[in-house]
Structure 1
Amino acid sequence: MTTRLHDLRHSDRGDMNIEVAIGAAALIVLFGLAIVAMRIQTAESAIAEAARSAARSASLAHDGETAAAAARQRARDVLAQQHLSCSGLQIDVDAHDFAKPLGETGYVIATITCEVGYNDLLIPGMSGSRTTRAEFRSPIDRHGARQ
């Protein structure tokens, strides 16, 4: 009888609870990493689309100043439509090719840099941010009215 009590007290049944707890914690961490990866992928796509749309919008303008303003506004609009909030949003527009004479090929280059945070994901132990950058070049209409 004493051996049975001794066997019951020193059995390995408690190890299963520890294994389940460790396994659950590992699954939570993997799930959190997957959510962060999806956030980064979605942000990169949205920023790339904003850069493309900004450059295209700017290439239709008649002068460099108007082109830069149109590109910045279009980039902000696209990011808002994608529900992406950036901390440290930077929109750079290179529209100096509008100074080229009619008939010469020129380009507008839109570059967007955005810092995407993970703090709002509410995943334990996951905080921080990642800076994402996208650039797109669009040709200016060679025969359009440039000033």
Structure 2
Amino acid sequence: MERNDGFYFDWAMILAREAFEAGYSPVGAVIVPKRGGAFSAASRREIGNVQHAEFRALSLMAEQTPLSNVTLFSTLEPCIMCSGMAAVMKVEHITWLVDDYWGGASRVYNPDSTYIKKRFPTMKKAYYSELTKEAQEMWIEYLTKTGHADAVHYMLGL
């Protein structure tokens, strides 16, 4: 049975909700091989600067299988650390639901750079209006609860 991107974003949203309900940043990440096989999924489960959902999912996947020809689905645009890790691990594509204007990697990289074109995965925002809206609402609530309501404008571009 072939699944579409929406299926994987639904899965990532389940992980983001679990993280949010546990008091962590509402981010979920799912890694899917192009030709089937092992999957990896994670959410942020620690408060710290390096335990991002994407980082955790990449680390788990690397233990199972080579990462070439995989797609990373995330509820939030990956940061420069996570997208750099994905590049080193030869992830082919990265896609996300919510832009991160604060720390998203696509705002840092020069897409015209020969190095970026050769080494980095293709990166694009996905458009699933209901999922994107839900993910944004979780972020607004999370930032407000954690005393960072002023960051909503910077992070989400709202």
TM-score (norm 1): 0.29
Asked which structure has the greater RCO (Cα within 8 Å, sep 6+), the reply is: 1
Greater Rg, structure 1 or structure 2? Answer: 1
Query: Please, what TM-score do these two structures have when normalized by structure 2?
Result: 0.28
